[in-house]
């Protein structure tokens, strides 16, 4: 039988050699590996990060956009004025912008897009971004005036999200399968289950991109991802699914590892509504039982930055509060005794990502060391969303909150970990009325202190963006201020 | 023969109906809301309600079941919750990968297994027999995903004869066949090992039958008796195994599809399950049930063709 196998191998080998062509000298295309395939390509009607990873900044653009380090840059809006009272924003749009179908992008399209996103029957996944908008009007073809109900210091930031991109009324419903935006790339082809291809938009209003074509390939299996890099079938994995082999690729002169930051605060969330976790002493006891570095090393192969509060360490407003939650098992046991809790058993729900499944095992061991038993329940995403996130039916869970600047979730009354303390809400209201950047940062610091001092959750680490790419590929994002693969600055050095 | 076909067809339809009800009910009790999955962590209750309405998740259960059945009868499987395209299109596109892959693997496996099995049986307890049986033992023991990784390492990473995975589409048939070659080999080897062993033992059994001895007695050589009388009779268990293997190759290639990131039916089902795209899951499962039942049906008919005695013994 092995003879037969060899014979058929030899035949196919001959076939293959005949079919392979010569390699290209100068490359103007790139193959990007992504772990998840987007369900569809409309960023305004689904929360899936995989959609933004393909279309954000490449195909679709908003009024503003995120820069590589999270700063807010102008996009379709060339400039803007904000009225004294912080309620009226006047956006001056770029002239001569067209959609990929050739129609002009005017102020009316902006009005349409924002009104669609905030309408009653809207299925926008981030509707809160538009919650403060009272009215959107077109003053003339290139001027849009947005009036807010109340001042919102985050408004320009909100408009940079992928969920706030500008779409045309004619194509809004078909963007799911045939996205029509204003970006420097236009959609070319989607081979479902395999790849999405975008190509250079020759009529782009801004600076044209250097790449002619980009293909996003969907490879979820860690071993397959490694093989695809090694075989040079894929040029880059911005988020590489197999951190255990990252060092092997980095040691190879053809590739380099790119490790940056993300907006993902990974936390051990506690159900603040449920006994005995409604007792701050019990929560503090759990916090002191946890050794973050052990989790980062054991579950994440050392990639990740410890955090002491729910805030990204690279943000200027970040406050280092790690001292409040130092690893101190002795203190844990004292606090548990003080709270009169003995023989505590808690459930620990773990969604599929490695940070949760691997991290959860380590957390369980650390909790056992201070006398808290855990029952680990592995759940799928859909189940996690319904049971833990939707119904709040859990004691502990490990999860990474990947939305940028999302500390506001601690002020939500119906949120799954159930905090929303008056002390937090008071600072939050003040923040919304404040437009001065320094004062805002100070208030953001107060918010971080509030949730750290009340031990709402165990803040574990900031998720790292561990990617890998061909050494000759330049201009890719190092950090991930939003989950996107911005190819507008990418080019081949050789 | 007509009665045989009729009975078989009725039992086929009844099985399909029962399967559809089980599939529908099992997926309904599964926890997880597709609308919540699509809208993620920051969504508002109004947006959720609007999406559930849009997806038709608010209709009562019996109405949804009957609607699904009626749609399937005319080839309309509904619109995928997450992909927002007709499910039938999704499935047909994936079948264009899964079906050729299964056929490719089955062909390779048969081409390897039958000669090896026959040679081993003809040289029972000889050197060829021992080495063939030793190698097939290894072939069965090798997990196919591990073998697949070895193939990728050897032929994609080191020799660069094949790409490490992906599927370029059928516009270029050469490239498509090439993309399916490593996966087909990985799938075929364990199947070929099983098939070769079945071929060998079945042939050895028939070679001991009285009619083979009679054939030798009337002057045929060993080889002539084997080819004319024993082989045809020995094929029945082999065809049974081939039918089972084809069902397995069609539905069970999911791990190989993952290793080679091929857009096949298994991966579609896997993605749809994790996204709670229930309408896709149940349609894919239904198609696979249909395929398995149909293959069993065809295998039954093949028995009747190979062995005329079975036609008269029909239920």
Is A13 touching B (CB cutoff 8 A)? yes
Architecture per CATH, A60-169: Alpha-Beta Complex (3.90)
Q: Do A382 and B166 touch (CB under 8 A)?
A: no
pLDDT exceeding 70 applies to what percent of chain A? 95
- DSSP 8-state secondary structure symbol assigned to residue A400: E
State the DSSP code for B39. Answer: H
Query: Long-range contacts for A17-21 (Cβ within 8 Å, ≥24 apart)?
Result: A17/B161, A19/B174, A19/B175, A19/B178, A20/B161
For residue B118, give the nearest of B212, B210, B232 by alpha carbon. B232
CB contact under 8 A, A1 and B32: no
> Quick one: average pLDDT of B158-183?
90
pLDDT tens digits, B297-312: 888 888 877 777 766 6
Which of A59-63, A221-225, B117-121 is the most confident on average? A59-63
Considering Cα of A293, then A299, then A302, then A306, what sign does the dihedral take? negative
Distance, CA of B232 to CA of B209 (rounded, Å): 13
Residue A204 has what DSSP assignment? -
Q: Are strands A213-218 and A29-34 parallel, antiparallel or unpaired?
A: parallel
Q: Is-contact A311 A265, C-beta < 8 A?
A: yes
**How far apart are alpha carbons B296 and B8 in whole angstroms?**
10
Q: Which residues of B touch A194 (CB under 8 A)?
A: 166-167, 261-263
The two tokens of residue A491 are: 């080019």
Task: With beta carbons less than 8 A apart as the criterion, state whether A269 and A417 touch.
Answer: yes
Nearest CB partner across the interface for B83, out of A39, A223, A224: A39
Model pLDDT, residue B310: 67
Question: Which residues in chain A are contacts of B92 at CB distance < 8 A?
Answer: none
Mean pLDDT over residues A269-273, rounded? 95
**DSSP-assigned states of every residue in A14-52:** HHHHHH--PPPSS--EEEEEESS--S-S-TTS---HHHH
Q: Using 50, 70 and 90 to split pLDDT, how confident is the model at A218? A: very high
Instruction: Render pLDDT for A425-449 as a digit per residue (tens, 0 to 9).
Output: 999 999 988 878 899 999 999 999 9
Q: How far is A338 from chain B (nearest CA, A)?
A: 36
Is A121 within 8 Å of B85 when comparing Cβ atoms?
no
Measure the CA dihedral B118/B123/B124/B127, to 10°: -120
Average pLDDT over residues B95-124: 92
Query: Up-side HSE of residue A35: CA atoms within 13 Å toward CB?
Result: 17
pLDDT score of B314: 46
The answer to whether A487 and A199 have CB atoms below 8 angstroms apart is no
How much is the pLDDT for A372?
95
Handedness of CA A158, A163, A167, A169 (dihedral sign): negative
C-alpha B180/C-alpha B109 separation (Å) is 14
DSSP A201-245: -TT-SSSPPS-SEEEEEE---HHHHHHHHHTTS-SEESS-S-GGG
User: How many Cβ atoms from other residues are within 10 Å of residue B4's Cβ?
Assistant: 17
- Computed over every residue of chain A, the mean pLDDT equals 90
CA A229 – CA A470 distance, rounded (Å): 9
Average pLDDT, chain B: 86
What is the nearest CA distance from B112 to chain A, expressed in angstroms?
5
Q: What is the pTM of this model?
A: 0.82
| A402 → chain B, closest CA residue | B41
Q: Does A383 touch chain B (CB under 8 A)?
A: yes
Q: Which residues of B touch A192 (CB under 8 A)?
A: 83, 90, 93-94, 263
The kind and range of the H/E element at A82 are: strand A77-82
Cα–Cα dist A194/B277, whole Å? 18
Predicted confidence at residue A7, as pLDDT, reads: 45
User: Does residue A81 register a pLDDT over 90?
Assistant: yes
Q: How far is B215 from chain A (nearest CA, A)?
A: 29
Helices H, strands E: what count in chain B?
A: 15, 0
Any idea what the Cα angle at residue B52 is, between residues B48 and B53, rounded to 5°? 120
Q: For A264-463, CATH number?
A: 3.10.105.10
Compute the distance between CA of residue A166 and CA of residue A110 in angstroms, rounded to an integer. Answer: 6
Residue from the list B32, B116, B153 with its beta carbon closest to the beta carbon of A4: B116
**Chain B contact for A421, CB < 8 A?**
no
Q: Which two tokens stand for residue B64?
A: 């949804």
| Residue B1: pLDDT band with limits 50, 70, 90 | low
User: Chain A to chain B, count of Cβ pairs less than 8 Å apart?
Assistant: 196
Predicted pLDDT at A6? 45
Pick from A16, A127, A223: CB nearest B44: A127
Instruction: Output the pLDDT for position A171.
Output: 94
pLDDT, greater one: B198 or A48: B198
Q: Which of B31, B39, B93 sits opposite A387 (nearest CB)?
A: B31
Statement: residue B125 has pLDDT above 60: yes
Q: Give the mean model confidence (pLDDT) for residues B265-276.
A: 84
Cβ contact, residue pair B258, A224, below 8 Å: yes
> According to the model, what pLDDT value does residue A152 have?
85
Task: Report, as an integer, the average pLDDT of A379-407.
Answer: 87
The residues, ordered by sequence, that sit 6+ positions from A436 with a Cβ below 8 Å of its Cβ are none
Candidates B29, B56, B121, B164: best to mutate against A (most CBs of A within 10 A) is B164
Map out the domains of chain A as residue ranges.
60-169, 264-463
pLDDT at residue number A45? 87
Q: Which of A330, A269, A264 is nearest to A458 (CA)?
A: A269
Give the pLDDT confidence score for residue A472 in this predicted structure: 94
From A176, A220, A385, residue closest to B258, measured CB to CB: A220
Residue A22 has pLDDT above 50, yes or no: no
Contacts of A19 in chain B (CB under 8 A): 174-175, 178
Question: Shortest CB distance from B94 goes to which of A37, A46, A193?
Answer: A193
Query: Are the beta carbons of B47 and A12 separated by less than 8 Å?
Result: no
Q: What is the pLDDT of residue A12?
A: 47
In angstroms, the separation between the Cα of residue A402 and the nearest Cα of chain B is 10
From chain A, the residues in CB contact with B160 under 8 A are 231
3-state helix, strand, coil in chain B (%, to 5): 80, 0, 20
In chain A, the percentage of residues whose pLDDT exceeds 90 is: 70
Q: Is the pLDDT of residue A481 over 70?
A: yes
* Count of CB atoms situated within 10 Å of the CB of A167: 26
Decide which of A149 and B3 is more confident: A149
Residue A102 has what DSSP assignment?
S
A230 at B interface, C-beta within 8 A: yes
pLDDT at B313: 53
Residue of A nearest to B268 (CA): A193
Helix segments in A352-484, DSSP class H: 354-368, 381-383, 422-432, 437-453
Chain B contact present for A17, CB below 8 A: yes
Q: Domain B87-310: give its CATH code.
A: 1.10.3720.10
A486 to chain B, any CB pair closer than 8 A? The answer is no
Residue A262 scores a pLDDT above 60: yes
pLDDT of residue B3: 79
pLDDT at residue A272 in the model: 94
Residue A294: per-residue pLDDT: 95
Contacts of B189 in chain A (CB under 8 A): 5
Instruction: Tell me what pLDDT residue A228 has.
Output: 93
Distance of CA A374 to the CA centre of its chain: 29
Confidence at residue A290, expressed as pLDDT on a 0 to 100 scale: 96
Flag if A125 and B160 touch (Cβ within 8 Å). Answer: no
CA distance A330 to chain B (A): 36
Q: CA nearest A131 in B: which residue?
A: B44
Question: What is the domain partition of chain B in residue ranges?
Answer: 1-74, 87-310
pLDDT digits (tens, 9 = 90+) for B28-83: 777 777 777 777 776 777 888 888 887 777 778 888 888 888 888 888 888 888 78
Cα B30 → chain centroid: 26
Confidence of residue B9 (pLDDT cuts 50, 70, 90): confident
Specify the pLDDT at position A25.
57
Tokens of A141: 């073809």
Quick check: B42 and A47 CB within 8 A? yes
The 10s digit of each residue's pLDDT in A306-327 is: 999 999 998 889 999 999 999 9
> Is A172 in the B-facing interface, judged by CB distances under 8 Å?
no
Looking at residue A17, its pLDDT comes to 43
Judged by a CB distance cut-off of 8 A, whether residue A127 touches chain B is yes
Residue B143 C-alpha from the chain's centroid = 17
**Contacts of residue B72, Cβ cutoff 8 Å, sequence gap at least 6:** B20, B283, B286
pLDDT of residue B210: 87
When CB atoms are compared, the residue of A224, A233, A383 closest to B31 is A383
What is the reported pLDDT for B312? 62
Give the model's pLDDT for residue B72.
86
């Amino acid at each position: 039988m092995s003879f037969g196998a060899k014979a058929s191998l030899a035949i196919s080998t001959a076939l293959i050699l005949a079919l392979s062509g010569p390699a290209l000298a100068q490359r103007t295309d790139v193959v990007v590996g992504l772990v998840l395939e987007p369900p569809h390509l409309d960023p305004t009607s689904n929360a899936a990060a995989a959609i933004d990873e393909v279309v954000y900044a490449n195909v679709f653009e908003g009024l503003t956009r995120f820069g590589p380090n999270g700063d807010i840059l102008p996009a379709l809006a060339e400039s803007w004025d904000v009225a004294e009272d912080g309620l009226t924003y006047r956006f001056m749009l770029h002239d001569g912008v067209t959609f990929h179908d050739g129609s002009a992008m005017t102020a009316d399209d902006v009005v349409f897009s924002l009104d669609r996103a905030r309408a009653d029957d809207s299925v926008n996944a981030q509707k809160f971004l538009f919650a403060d908008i009272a009215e959107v009007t077109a003053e003339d073809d290139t001027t849009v005036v947005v009036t807010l109900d109340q001042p919102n210091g985050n408004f320009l930031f909100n408009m940079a999200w992928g969920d706030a991109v500008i779409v045309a009324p004619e194509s809004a419903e078909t963007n799911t399968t045939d996205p029509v935006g204003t970006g420097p790339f236009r959609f070319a082809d989607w081979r479902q289950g395999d790849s999405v291809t975008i190509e250079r938009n020759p009529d782009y209003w801004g600076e044209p991109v250097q790449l002619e074509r980009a293909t996003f390939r969907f490879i979820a299996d860690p071993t397959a991802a490694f093989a695809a890099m090694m075989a040079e079938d894929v040029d880059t994995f911005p988020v590489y699914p197999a951190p255990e082999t990252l060092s092997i690729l980095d040691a190879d002169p053809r590739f380099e590892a790119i490790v940056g930051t993300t907006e993902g605060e990974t936390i051990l969330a506690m159900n603040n509504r449920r006994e005995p976790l409604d007792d701050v002493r019990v929560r503090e006891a759990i916090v002191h039982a946890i050794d973050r570095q052990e989790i980062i090393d054991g579950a994440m192969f050392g990639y990740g930055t410890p955090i002491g509060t729910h805030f990204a360490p690279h943000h200027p407003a970040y406050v280092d509060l790690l001292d409040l939650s130092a690893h101190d098992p002795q203190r844990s046991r004292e606090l548990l005794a003080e709270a009169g809790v003995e023989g505590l058993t808690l459930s620990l729900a773990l969604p599929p990502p490695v940070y949760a499944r691997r991290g959860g095992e380590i957390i369980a061991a650390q909790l056992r060391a201070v006398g808290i038993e855990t029952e680990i329940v592995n759940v799928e995403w859909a189940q996690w969303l319904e049971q833990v996130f939707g119904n709040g039916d859990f004691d502990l869970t490990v999860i990474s909150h990947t939305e940028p600047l999302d500390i506001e979730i601690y002020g939500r009354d119906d949120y799954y970990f159930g905090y929303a303390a008056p002390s937090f809400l008071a600072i939050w209201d003040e923040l919304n009325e404040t437009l001065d950047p320094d004062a805002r940062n100070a208030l953001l610091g107060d918010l971080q202190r509030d949730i750290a001092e009340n031990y709402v959750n165990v803040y574990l680490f900031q998720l790292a963006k561990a990617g890998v790419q061909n050494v000759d590929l330049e201009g890719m994002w190092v950090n991930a201020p939003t989950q996107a693969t911005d190819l507008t600055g990418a080019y081949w050095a050789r | 023969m007509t009665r045989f076909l009729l009975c078989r067809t009725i039992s086929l339809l009844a099985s399909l109906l029962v399967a559809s009800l089980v599939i529908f009910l099992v997926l309904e009790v599964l926890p997880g809301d597709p609308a919540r999955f699509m809208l993620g962590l920051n969504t508002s209750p109004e947006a959720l309600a609007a999406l559930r309405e849009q997806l038709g998740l608010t209709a009562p259960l019996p109405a949804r079941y009957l609607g699904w059945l009626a749609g399937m009868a005319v080839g309309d499987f509904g619109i995928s919750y997450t992909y927002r395209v007709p499910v039938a299109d999704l499935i047909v596109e994936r079948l264009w990968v899964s079906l050729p892959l299964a056929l490719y693997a089955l062909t390779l496996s048969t081409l390897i297994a039958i000669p090896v099995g026959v040679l081993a049986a003809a040289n029972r307890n000889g050197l060829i027999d021992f080495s063939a049986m030793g190698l097939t033992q290894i072939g069965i023991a090798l997990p196919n995903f591990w073998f697949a990784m070895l193939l990728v390492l050897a032929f994609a990473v080191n020799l660069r004869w094949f790409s490490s995975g992906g599927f370029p589409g059928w516009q270029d048939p050469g490239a498509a066949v090439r993309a399916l070659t490593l996966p087909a080999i990985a799938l075929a080897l364990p199947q070929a090992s099983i098939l070769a062993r079945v071929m060998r033992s079945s042939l050895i059994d028939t070679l001991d039958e009285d009619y083979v001895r009679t054939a030798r007695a009337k002057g045929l050589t060993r080889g002539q008796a084997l080819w004319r009388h024993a082989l045809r009779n020995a094929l029945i268990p082999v065809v049974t195994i081939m039918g089972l293997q084809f069902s397995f190759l069609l539905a069970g290639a999911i791990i190989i599809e993952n290793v080679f990131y091929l857009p096949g039916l298994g991966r579609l089902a896997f993605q749809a399950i994790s996204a709670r795209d229930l309408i896709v899951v149940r349609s894919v499962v239904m198609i696979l049930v249909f395929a398995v039942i149909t293959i069993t049906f065809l295998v039954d008919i093949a028995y009747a063709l190979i062995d005329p005695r079975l036609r008269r013994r029909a239920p």
